[in-house]
Chains A and B, each alone.
Chain A
Amino acid sequence: MITFILQRILQSILVMLTVALIAFGLFRYVGDPINNMVGQDTTIEERVELRERLGLNDAFLVQFGRFAANAAKGEFGYSYQHRRPVSDLIAERLPATLELSLISAILALVVGIPMGVYTAIRRNGALSHTFMTLSLIGISLPTFLIGILLILFFGVILRWLPTFGRGDVVEIGWWTTGFLTSSGLKSLIMPAITLALFQMTLIMRLVRAEMLEVLRTDFVKFGRARGLPDRYVHFVTALKNTLVPVITITGLQLGSIIAFAIITESVFQWPGMGLLFIQAIGEVDIPVMAAYLVLIAFFFVVINLIVDVLYYVVDPRLRVDRADSGGH
């Protein structure tokens, strides 16, 4: 158990170092950092002096070490485009992305699980077929197209909902929230649905598949034989046993939601990190790209680590398997 966790932590650190190395390589060797920082009229002497002062003449390992140490403290230098510290930009954008991702994840779970249970119980019902067909269409519809269709119907034709931005936000310390104003909540509806739809179909299909497996097992049959009401058998006996994989997959999907937020934010001009990153790619704003890269990798590594450990704790069968196959 301990070795497994240590192994996973070691692997996570390795991944983070690799990502940091890529980010550093981008930052240091793509174009000349000095040229990107100073104006046209800076003299050569000043450039040489700045180069020395920033430590760009130091050995590679020294520079990388400094980059990694700064990154660990959340410092990524100045954005070429915005002329402001990258950490400020990210801190400004982080609440928008996290609020959107959180609401989408909840939406996907709250709608996806009941739909999955229903389609498993009424396998051949008309509504189940409708759900399954819809889910196939949901998988075939690219995220950005869902967003565009929502904008067309609810924004342009019906004019019910705002089509871009976050609406009015309230500041709580450094955190800005859109939950407390009506325009903020209204603005959240369409982006959250757009972002949630793909995960929703995924969760629904997963719950359905797991339920179908569990419903065939003996303990469900015995539950029925004992005369427990159907509702109890379905939602307590069976559902409880399907939730382990659902929780782990959902955990892993949390990372995907943050990544897919790039697309949703781009469609709705939602002022989050994803939009910042896409703009940074377009403008070759390397410090912002590097920072986003490291931050997203960090999110993923932490989520994966937690899920892996949880899985290991929750499912005792896994421990035996792992011991057998030598840690694979």
Chain B
Amino acid sequence: MTLMELLTQSLEIIVAVAAAPLFLGWINQCRAWLQNRRAPSVLQPYRTIRKLFHKDAVIANTASPLFRITPYIVFGAMTLAAAIIPSMGTRLPFTAAADAIALVGLLATARVFMALAAMDIGTAFGSFGARREMMVGFLAEPALLMVIFVASLISATTSLPAISEHLATAALGLYPSLAFTAVAFTMVLLAENARIPIDNPATHLELTMIHEAMLLEYSARHLALMEWAAALKLFNYACIGFALFVPWGLAAGAVAPTALLVAIPLLALKLALAGSALALVESVSAKLRVFRAPEFLATAFMFAVLGLLVHLLLGA
């Protein structure tokens, strides 16, 4: 473990935690442009988080300690996930400890704790939000795993940095299998991050909520952490997507400071493009009924499995 690797690692975590609300703000900005209205500043998520940190927390008197510690666990899990995903360099000391499958498990841990905390208070909205979240989660997880398996099969490893290093250096060609899995991954990203075809992040109607319904009982610093963790989750998913499908520009191999200097603006560019693409997808699609969500995710799963089969048969 060299000093440079350690530096890359800490830079990655700091950038992920610091830039995640900005990414969310940028998506909101793009959505507002597409809807022909004036957007709040891109810094609005930071202001919200700051405001929430200054408030006094109110907690239901039926709450157990689980309810109090969940925001810290969720935020910690997302930060740890950010440490494993190669967003700038591929030589990360942390990634020796956990591969892509462990990453999926880490995201699942956060989800389980969120669902438990939502049920903890015993309000109706909290528990139905938790149930819906678990339904979406159990359908999205196999699809995400399949996506990762396809990339692992191509590069013969389950370690994310090794996968992106392999894909970045492979000869340029047409890979229908990767194209299919990219579609599947995008669908999983939308479902897992409570974006529009499955859940509307801007809704005020409790009956249609999934993610928001789980946060209804949280306030002040707990809510701030939960919202920050949600932004971080979206950021992480975007970075997983980059690592698998557009790995070019990562500081691969032994890192030199100059490679990092190239990687950071490239990451910013990729995030800006991905954010506007996400806003476009969200603006052109309508929210599905909850009962249609299994269909949506089954399609994602099918895309991922088709990618796997096409890779096995055609070798592409």
User: Do the two chains belong together in a single complex?
Assistant: no
Interface, chain A (partner B; CB < 8 A):
none
